[in-house]
Amino acid sequence: MTPAPNPSPERTVLRARARGEVSAADSFEELYALHSGSVRAWLRSRVPAATAEDLMQDVWLVFHDRWRRWEFRPEMEAEEARPVLSFLFRTCHFVLRGHFRRRELRGELPIEAADDVDAPTGILRMERAADAGNALRLAERVCTAEERDVLLAKLAGVPAREIAGALGITEAVVDHRFRDALARLKSRLAPKPRARKGGGRG
């Protein structure tokens, strides 16, 4: 008999909260400890670190409010479901949209240039930025912002359907962007063929 797979840490918290074994306040802090790293990394891949910290508060304020009225639905029990992580990913992108829209309304940037002008800090901590061969750092350089959004959501474990909903694209596009990101990284990380000694001119 195959043992049942271990539930994800998120599901463990959700179940405990649904059964009333843990308070809304304590479970909120558990979820914060569990997902704050992902939320911060998603934001930092889009905006500078100081801005990311401000937006982080907005994302968690929205979740804090929602968590008090959280609806525990049966489909959230599915093995691959990550309802809280998905909610945070969606909220993250709503907050980012609002951030760029606010700058646009203030005349700080044209609509199309929103992503380019607001140079992101990067997913990685600064001290690790020099790591050679780090695929995440490479993704910051070679993948488009749209590909990175999908790649980082997938790495965090957000289901494709939720990524599609949050970004306003289809699941097929999610898959396409993910494959494109991997292909770019693969080709850059592939060992370069050694140059022949003595050059090629004979």
Question: In the complex, which residues of this chain contact other proteins (CB under 8 A)?
Answer: 29, 32-38, 40-41, 44, 55-62, 64-65, 71, 90-91, 94-95, 97-99, 101-102, 105-106, 123-125, 128, 134-136, 139, 151-152, 155-156, 165, 182, 185-186, 189-190
d(CA 74, CA 53): 34
Q: How many CA atoms lie within 13 A of 4 on its CB side?
A: 4
**Which residue, 58 or 146, has its beta carbon nearer to other proteins?**
58
Closest separation between CB of residue 198 and other proteins, Å?
A: 29
Q: Are 62 and 144 in contact (CB under 8 A)?
A: no
Q: Which is nearer to other proteins, 91 or 197 (CB)?
A: 91
* Closest-CA residue to 59 (of 75, 45, 39): 39
Q: How far is the CB of 39 from other proteins (least distance, A)?
A: 9
Where would I find the H helices in 110-144? Answer: 114-117, 135-142
Amino acid at 25: A
**Of 71 and 112, which CB lies nearer to other proteins in the complex structure?**
71
Min CB(159)–other proteins separation in Å: 16
Residue 120: strand, helix, or coil: coil
Q: What is the C-alpha end-to-end distance of the chain, expressed in Å? A: 66
Residue among 15 and 32 whose Cβ is closer to other proteins: 32
Residue 69, both tokens:
């009225």
We find the least distance from the C-beta atom of residue 70 to other proteins, in angstroms, to be 12
Considering the complex, what minimum distance in angstroms separates the CB of residue 191 from other proteins? 8
Please say whether the beta carbons of 178 and 151 come within 8 A.
yes
Query: Residue 19 Cβ, how far from other proteins at the closest point, in Å?
Result: 23
Closer Cβ to other proteins, 97 or 117, answer by number? 97
Nearer to other proteins, 40 or 46 (CB): 40
